Structure 1
Amino acid sequence: MVAALPSSDSAAAGAETADLPVGELCTALEAYLSAEQIDDVYAAYRFGATAHEGQRRKSGEPYIHHPVAVAQILAGMRMDHKCLMAAVLHDVIEDTPTAKEQLAERFDQEIADLVDGVSKLTQMDFKSRVDAQAASFRKMMLAMTRDIRVILIKLADRLHNMRTIGAMSAEARRRISRETLEIYAPIANRLGISWLRIELEELAFANYWPWRHRVITRALQLARGDCRAVIGRVEAAIRERLAQEGVAAETAGRQKHAYGVFRKMRERKRRFCEVVDVYAFRIVVDRVDTCYRVLGLVHNLYKPLPGRFKDHIAIPKSNGYQSLHTVLAGPQGVPIEIQIRTLDMQRNAESGIAAHWMYKSEPGEASPRGLTADWLRNLLEMPRGAGDSEEFLNQVKIDLFPDEVYVFTPKGEILALPKGATVVDFAYAIHSDVGNTCVAARIERRLAALSTALRSGQTVEVITAPGAKPHPTWLRFVVTGKARANIRGYLKNLQRHDAEALGRRLLEAELASFDRDLDRLAPTVLVAYLAEAKLADATELFSEIALGNRLAPLVARRLVAASEGQELRLGTRHRLAIKGTEGMPLTYARCCRPIPGDAVAGLFNPGRGIVVHRRECRNLGDFERQGDRWIELEWDDSVEMDFATEVSIDMANRPGSLASVAAAIAEMGSNIENIQSRERDGRTTTLELLINVRGRQHLARTLRRLRAIAAVTRIGRVNRSALRRV
């Protein structure tokens, strides 16, 4: 029976809508929406039907069937009426001439924002399909952080598309299915909507690996037939024991899904029989304390297998999932998996964030709470560090597959992190400021390095320092998107600031050759040059100079010539004083490893800034005569930081010799960064050490101390410029 359409327009629309499923939608809405709200949804349907008039899907059916089907899926989740209106209208901005402003005027701004959040970026030119998809995904995810209903509409949209994917080409089916497995099914899992995740995975599996899907599905059907007797016997034993103890509970066997079996076979490298030979049961009770009571009962019924118990009630998963999991040795030693949870936990396990609308009394509220809200807040921080949309998409993908570890703060709070997460990931999970200033940690009260991978159950205390800052090497070991985004964002801002300061000093040094400086140039001269060079402002000019993309001598000549109306002869070039703290625009060549006190010169390297070499370095070659990349440098009097230099030591093979060398270096206030050794003739060993010193005088004192060691036969500083170029 099809429900009567809303009274307004029903007569006029009768014949036109007879073949459309809008009547079924209205019937479903009568269960929980008011008549006025159903009228609003129908008005949105009328608007969408008019906008999509004449359009058809690849299957041949009218296009309006699709948005109505999407709304029906959301109606099954008991979503609010504005979400359903946006679902019916979700393609009008993307696929019709309708503008967002029209939706806001016809309905309201909230619905227009929802539809716009789901719409792809169709008005921009992208280099490739990947760029376009990544940019659209980024737009949708950021809209989701403002209103979770955006992603729920998109998930329902993807589910209906997967249900009707048969009309697409084989290539399109594989592409869409892969995207579903990589992005949309994991998002459904992250939001805790189990039924939606399972259906997306099964449909995508059937279309991406059709042969494997058929084989595993057939094998599962045969396995289920063979194990019915075992399942029935175990289920009867559990129910009998619960009845004896007066525990009211619902008990049911849990079926395995084809994609879940395939994924376990691939990840664990196991055969089919090893994966499916586990019988699963779910027990649903009334209260939390009853869950633990039932756990004791089933442990008395069958022996638990060591190490196979998980308490997700005390420590929920990152998507809010709660349940007790235990594996028992059943009849004839057959493994039995038991899940014990309350009715509310069961609802959340199936519907996740959607349970907020299905079972709560305030369906209009669109802000999630708890762990889902934490994940969304992390998403908001990612764009600051992500360089482009594709990088943002990759960061989100990392966060969508959290094979989790659970660690504790010193106050006893639990944090869920992806498997392989390090101390730095933990620090950023607490707060961005904690991550930016962390220097070490205590794990179980013992000092640990920032790169230490964490294990479940550990208590971690982060040690911070006010002057500390993120280091580029952290990007090698962090795994969470939030940590990676914050580190990248900080380093980009730091590089921009460092480049601006260094570029200004470089230009000032060149202008001094003409007895000029920036303050004495007419403002119009600099403005005219920036316009000619297509640069936004002086800050961008300074950054371009520091990174070697523009040469300071040429810029200085142009500015002076413009101010004087003629070309001037180049005077004596002033040396640029360096302190070693200029940051990333200034790097030190590894071939000769200059330190304070060395005579130095610099080469412009586009994209890297200035590379500092010792004047005697062979890699400088004839650059001084070329002039366009050469820059005169000198050390500032206030240099205080440490610099790395290489030292080669020949020493006799004697017990304790290496320890004597290490102790001597430490005694002189140096530090060993790296050490390599090679035996020469059985009696002599050559050590190559990378040590930190404050300058030539510090290095000289250190070498004198090393020469005093009896086992040392020769010592000297290494210059690799004759061997390779850096």
Structure 2
Amino acid sequence: MPETLPPVEKKSLENNIFKPSISGLLRRVETYDPHANLKLIEDAYDLAASAHNGQLRDNGDAYITHPIAVASILAGFRMDVTSILVGLLHDTIEDTGITLADLQNRFGEDVAALVDGVTKLTRLELQSDRTKQAENFRKLVLAMSRDIRVLIVKLADRLHNMRTLHYVQRLDRRQRISRETMDIYAPLAERIGMDRVKTELQNIAFAQLEPEADATIRARLNFLRGQGADVIDQISKELTSLCAEAGLDDVDVTGREKSPFSIWEKMKRRNIAFEQLSDIMAFRLIVPTRDACYMALGAIHGAYPMIAGRFKDYISTPKANGYQSLHTGVTLRSPRNQKIEVQIRTREMHDWAEDGVASHWAYKEDMTPNERETMALSGIFGKNNRKLRWVQDLLEILEDSEAPDEFLENTKLELYQDQVFCFTPKGQLISLPRGATPIDFAYAVHSQVGDTCVGAKVNGRLIPLRHELQNGDQVEIMTARGGTPSPSWERFVVTGKARARIRRFVVAQQRQVYIDNGRVAIAKAFRQEGADGSEKVLEGILKELRQASVEDLYVAVGNGQLGPKDVVNAAYPELKPAGRAPRLVPGLSPRFGQSLLLGAGNIPARKKTSQSNQIIKGLGVGIATSFAGCCRPIPGDSIVGVIAQSKGVTIHRKGCQNLASFSENPERFIEVDWDYDAIAKRVDTTPYTARLSVVATNEPAVLATLTNAAAKSGGSVVNLKIVNRQLDFMEILVDVEVKDLKHLLSLITSFRVAVGVMQVERVKG
């Protein structure tokens, strides 16, 4: 793991490395807001400096440098004075003796409420790290639903912490912070349109989480840069000249390389090696008007061949975060034959694309301070505005999720957005993650529509509910009074909102089953003893049995936590048996497979339980299962069970080539899925084995490169065989041990960026 971060990109929010100072902050605020109350900012600084006195950062600097840096980042967004104050004070409640009441008295309720929203929860000492993270995120969602500035300050705080992450000594802590940044804060930045923040957070986190891949990609970019040092300037001039010929004189053209994380993500998504990437360079055209966007697009498409499938019009159909731009991919004229990505937008669209929600807080000379404060909670930030509708979706997930961990997981699903745009029959636009189904669409329209969905039509045709929606689909949801969600929907929905709602119904349904079973069992136990088992009697023993209500008592008995006899004995202690059978000393308990003489006979040996059966849903109890050796399924794969004669059920990947041999006997197929809850609780951490086919140059160092890349990705090569060797290349079968599909995809990408590797594919059978 490198001890220093890669250099900040040219388009970074902070172009210069500087020692933050209060005087510099005041000058910065005054440049864009001459009417700002600088005395109030100085007061906030004095309080923060006094409160943090004696505290140090990981790099040895006085702690006050961090709040000043956060406030300076907010000033870079041209944020209002209230946000600047919160940036200076955001750690005072959490890390010092300052109270919420102190802040209310000195700076007012708005500042105090925002600081409280940014402050992490305390008193979570007994919780796991994941539960702490989930509870803190839960609080952040509630706070930002009231005022989105909470999130902007939190992102500025996280951005400075990431810029100084290399000072943290412990590797595990750096990686934990980076993973949290990648999973939560970067997607949140994307959701409010702050692309520059998102990109910088992702690149710093990527360097910590995948240092080998990051270094390899940067080395390759440096090599390409050396081969064509002036290529970006040449293409920029060519595009400027082309626009001028079309009558567009006021055009600003800039070119840049894709970021290392963006390249890594594209390689994973398209399943290709570095050499196969066709658009490492991207060019942006800033034009005066919306109409000029389409004129520039016409000029570019008229001059260069367009790459099929690469055109996207986010002006007519903006992204959920309000992003607007035209995207296209073209191949330049010979002899270069260079493929590039082009983005075309207006200045206003560009400001939103770079700074998102923050750009609407930017100081405007014709606005008074009161008007700016009023704008904060109205207009674009109004409740009904679709740009912040996702915050309401998060609140619904919060209501539907039973536990903090579940809320966090469902929220991650909601935040990741590679979008498709679909329409209701009335023409309402619904944006969904790629891979979304009609069930996801129904829940996006309204929770009640999702709950009562019984079918769907896409473009006028009836389709299965697990059908994957495409851009431009018109979706009609059919509902039925009294309809309820199916537990099987959870297997294929992709939005956090849908999954949380379905899981809530399943939990409620399961609870009712437990209540009914528990009520019957308790009534039977009291009846056998000839005793009164009324609810009044049960209410009297709730405290002793540590249950909150009679209903909870029924659930505890119904799910096996309590026995019905325990309930009877708690109500009538005199009915307890006088003596008890002697207990075995734990250290001397017999092993299964051995016999123990207890007078009446021997305890039979326990049957060995198949590990695969423990982590597969959809099978009956006691059915023997095994994983197919041909396709080697691992958690995360789409799987199917095949009934084998006298061998139980064999689990295959759905893409396994050997499944064709069973096509004449469809009755042998059985629908199954992974039991991810059981997998998460496994004590046995034995890894899963996957087989890869690798095509690489015929050089001795390639084998060492593969094993090193696997090790640095947290996997290991357990078997390796060269199946075809030619003069200039060789084909290798590699068996690797991984934790799950996500781990495997990361390892495959590590192989693809390795020097000498031309192709990596997973063997299908």
Paired position in structure 1 for 2:104: 104
Alpha-carbon contact 2:93-2:116 (below 8 Å) kept:
yes
Corresponding position: 1:296 with 2:298: yes
**Residue 282 of structure 1 is aligned with which of 263, 281, 284?**
284
SS at match of 2:543: helix
Greater relative contact order structure (CA < 8 Å, 6+ sep): 2
Matched residue, 1:308: 310
The whole-number CA distance in structure 2 between the counterparts of 1:316 and 1:490 is: 33
Q: Secondary structure at the match of 1:298?
A: helix
CA contact (8 A) 1:279 1:337 kept: yes
> How many Å separate the matches in 1 of 2:642 and 2:241?
69
Q: Which residue of 1 aligns with 2:388?
A: 373
How much does 1:155 deviate?
A: 1.1
* 197-206 or 445-454, which deviates more: 197-206
Match of 1:251 among 253, 257, 267: 253
Residues 384 and 486 of structure 1 are in contact (CA less than 8 Å); yes or no, is this contact kept in structure 2? no
1:357 paired to 2:361:
yes
Q: Which amino acid aligns with 2:388?
A: A
**Equivalents in 2 of 1:549, 1:472: separation in Å?**
24
User: How many Å separate the matches in 2 of 1:82 and 1:304?
Assistant: 48
The percentage of aligned residue pairs carrying the same residue is 40
Write the letter of the residue equivalent to 1:81. V
Deviates more, 1:428-437 or 1:408-417: 408-417
Q: How does 1:222-621 map to 2 (within 5 A)?
A: 222-247=223-248, 248-275=250-277, 278-332=280-334, 333-358=337-362, 361=367, 362-364=371-373, 365-367=375-377, 368=381, 370-512=385-527, 523=536, 525-552=537-564, 554-556=566-568, 558-559=570-571, 561=572, 567=575
1:608-655 per-residue CA deviation (whole Å, 9 max, x = no partner) reads: xxxxxxxxxxxxxxxxxxxxxxxxxxxxxxxxxxxx99xxxxxxxxxx
Deviation at 1:218, TM superposition (A): 3.8
Equivalence for 2:28: 28
Corresponding residue for 1:707? none
Shift of 1:243: 2.2
Q: State the distance in 2 between where 1:187 and 1:482 align.
A: 16
Q: 2:79–2:363: 8 Å Cα contact kept in structure 1?
A: no
- With the length of structure 1 as denominator, give the TM-score of the two structures: 0.71
Distance 1:256 1:558, change over 3 A: closer
**Aligned 1:110-259 pairs, distance under 5 A:** 110-171=110-171, 172-247=173-248, 248-259=250-261
Q: Tell me the number of residue pairs that the alignment of Structure 1 and Structure 2 aligns.
A: 558
Q: Deviations over 1:16-73 (max 9, x none)?
A: xxx9601111111113446563222221111111111111112111111100110000
Is 2:68 the partner of 1:79? no
Question: 3-state DSSP class of the match of 1:30?
Answer: helix
- Taking the aligned partners of 2:576 and 2:338, their CA distance within structure 1 comes to 92
Separation (CA, whole Å) in 2 of partners of 1:341 and 1:152: 24
What is the rounded CA distance, in whole Å, between the counterparts of 2:667 and 2:200 in structure 1? Answer: 62
2: CA distance, partners of 1:290 / 1:155: 34
CA distance in 2, matches of 1:57, 1:688: 63
The one-letter code matched in structure 1 to 2:426 is: K
> How far is 1:403 from its partner?
1.7
CA contact (8 A) 2:257 2:280 kept: no
Cα 1:462–1:277 change in 2 (3 A) is closer
Partner SS, residue 309 of structure 2: coil
Given residue 98 of structure 1, which amino acid in structure 2 is its aligned partner?
Answer: I
Structure 1 alignment gaps of length 5 or more: 1-18, 570-643, 646-673, 680-684, 691-726
User: How far has the Cα of 1:508 moved from its partner?
Assistant: 4.2
Q: 1:278–1:334: 8 Å Cα contact kept in structure 2? A: no
| Cα distance in structure 2, aligned partners of 1:457 and 1:52 | 54
User: Using a 3 Å threshold, how does the CA distance of structure 1 residues 46 and 417 change in structure 2: closer, same or farther?
Assistant: same
For 1:327, what is the secondary structure of its paired residue?
strand
Deviations 1:366-401 (A, max 9, x none): 443544411111110112232322222222222222
Return the offset for 1:146: 2.1
Query: Compared with structure 1, are the counterparts of its residues 35 and 335 closer, same or farther at alpha carbon in structure 2 (3 Å cutoff)?
Result: closer
Once residues 272 and 642 of structure 2 are traced to their aligned partners in structure 1, the CA distance between those partners, rounded to angstroms, is: 43
Contact kept? 1:134, 1:393, Cα under 8 Å: yes
Q: Name the CA distance, whole Å, in 2 between partners of 1:675 and 1:283.
A: 55
CA apart distance, 1:83: 1.6
Which whole-Å deviations, capped at 9, do the CAs of 1:282-340 have from their partners, x for residues lacking one? 11122222211221111112222222211111122232211111112212232132211
Alpha-carbon RMSD: 3.1
State the secondary structure of the residue aligned to 2:542.
helix
Q: Would the aligned equivalents of 2:90 and 2:119 in 1 still touch at CA under 8 Å? A: yes
Q: Confirm or deny: 8 A CA contact 2:514 2:559 kept in the other structure.
A: yes
Larger radius of gyration: 1
1:346 is displaced (CA, Å) by 0.7
Distance 1:224 1:398 in 2: 37
Whole-angstrom distance in 2 between the partners of 1:321 and 1:158: 23
**Greater displacement, 361-370 / 36-45:** 361-370
Checking the alignment, whether the CA contact within 8 Å between 1:440 and 1:464 is kept in structure 2 is yes
Select between 133-142 and 471-480 the one with higher mean Cα deviation.
Answer: 133-142
Distance 2:521 2:271 in 1: 59
